[in-house]
Amino acid sequence: MKKIERVADYMRQHKLLLVTGESCTSGLIAATLADVPGAGELLDCAFVTYSVQAKQRCLKVSELTLLRHNLTSEPVAREMAIGALGRSRANVAIANTGVVDDTDDEIPAGTQCFAWAFRSQSVPEGVAVFSTTCRFTGDRVSIRRQSAEFALEQIPHYHASHN
């Protein structure tokens, strides 16, 4: 059984419904899950917010966060995940922002910031949020694919850590 199918099985067992807030993966996280049979019961919607303005408008990433942190940062990814969760009926969100090629002088190609947000009654805020930064190698297509798979594969880990 492929890793993503195992993630889908985990999501079914735990009644998880996903929303994504994606930047450089451009919907590939959602599309990767959608390749699994029965994905309609696992995926609510996906936001592709490539531009800064779309991140602000669609996912409510604050201007202050963007001023204090680089666009490729965990704080931005966290706000993207929380924003996506708040604009859907899902109970888990994945967000990512990053650089897939050598267009940024400050951030190496392949740098990806991820966040996972879970609706949770076990935390006072009602949402448990986790984030991490990774660096993948390869060309644009490879980095995007690795990012999408990584993001989905972490759902069981982060879900289990807050329950």
Higher pLDDT, 162 or 19: 19
Cα distances (Å, whole numbers) of residue 149 to 41, 89, 106, 153: 19, 23, 25, 6
In Å, how far from its chain's centre is CA 120?
17
Q: Quick: pLDDT tens for 26-75.
A: 999 999 999 999 999 999 999 999 999 999 999 999 999 999 999 999 99
pLDDT at 103: 78
- Domain 3-162 indexed as CATH 3.40.50.970: no
Determine contact, residues 98/28, Cβ cutoff 8 Å: no
For residues 52 and 89, is the Cβ–Cβ distance under 8 A?
no
Averaged over 81-95, what is the pLDDT?
Answer: 97
On whether the CB atoms of residues 47 and 19 are closer than 8 A, the answer is yes
Q: What distance lies between CA 146 and its chain's CA centroid?
A: 13
Better-predicted residue by pLDDT, 90 or 103: 90
Residue 37 Cα distances to 4, 45, 50, 92, 120, angstroms: 11, 16, 28, 19, 27
Lowest mean pLDDT among 75-84, 88-97, 118-127, 128-137: 118-127
* pLDDT, the chain, mean: 94
E strand or H helix that includes residue 73: none
Cut 0.85: pTM above it: yes
Neighbour order of strands in the sheet with 43-48: 43-48, 18-22, 92-98, 111-119, 127-135
pLDDT at 88: 97
CB distance 151 to 114 below 8 Å: yes
Spacing of C-alpha 140 from chain mean position? 18
Read off the pLDDT of residues 69-78 as tens digits, 9 standing for 90 and up. Answer: 999 999 999 9
Sequence ranges of the domains in the chain = 3-162
**CB distance 1 to 124 below 8 Å:** no
